[in-house]
Amino acid sequence: MDKIKYVYLNFLLKIKKLSEKFKFKRRESEIKPQAKVKINSAAQLNFVSETEKICEEAEELSRKIVLKYKNDTDKTLELIKKKNVKVYRTKFAVKLLETINEKQGFIVPLKSFKAVYVNFVFGLLCDKKFVFKTKTEPMFIFNNNKVDMYYLAAQIYKWVAYRKKLAGFAFKAQEKFKKLYYGMTESKLNQLSANEIFAIKEVIARESEASDFAMKLYEEQKI
């Protein structure tokens, strides 16, 4: 469990570093925010963020799911299964996912080679059947060890945010983000278009919200 927390902390530090890099890359004049803009008679701009409202809803629903069986993450995963979401558990999960630059937890819908790989490998290991598809449904993949409650909380938040159609879960955006995460360089950043920068910022936003939710939950449970 301590190793999982260490890995996740390192992940969050990288997210913060990426986020800081993107602050000066994105120009408001180039990219439209995910918000409604209203101009009143005094020519003032009022931003009514639909995203913020959806994020609050996602957090509240995620809290209910996590705390229903807060001391038994296995039961929480069973609850997710009942919602017709695939949950794979295998002792080889971490290494198999590392092969395609993925981490255990919530896996967004994949395409192309990654989808073929996940469908075939985990279908064979966990479902005991051959599956050959070039797309996947959203799913959870974990090893057989007990899943840390707060790590799972972050993953559930991402799943709920995806179901609520928040931006940041598109396959291309996710792949761009992972390429930067595993090997960020100034030249790679400079090659990104304005639309790509916006898409990756949305991925980072969802990751940050998920970690903030897990930390908030941790503080609440300490009281």
10-32 pLDDT tens trace: 555 555 555 555 554 444 434 44
| Cβ atoms 105, 142 nearer than 8 A | yes
What's the pLDDT tens digit per position in 104-144? 999 999 999 999 999 999 999 998 888 899 999 999 999 99
Backbone CA torsion sign across 94, 95, 97, 102: positive
**Residue 199: per-residue pLDDT:** 87
Domain boundaries, the chain: 2-222
Which pair of structure tokens corresponds to residue 194?
């304005």
Query: What are the structure tokens assigned to 183, written together?
Result: 């090997």
Q: Write out pLDDT tens, residues 60-103.
A: 999 999 999 988 999 999 999 999 999 999 999 999 999 999 99
CA dihedral 106, 142, 93, 125 (to 10 degrees): -100
Tell me if 102 sits within 8 A of 175, measured CB to CB: no
More confident residue, 34 or 75: 75
Q: What is the pTM of this model?
A: 0.79
Q: What is the spatial distance between Cα 106 and Cα 65, in angstroms, rounded to a whole number?
A: 15
Which amino acid does the sequence have at 91? K
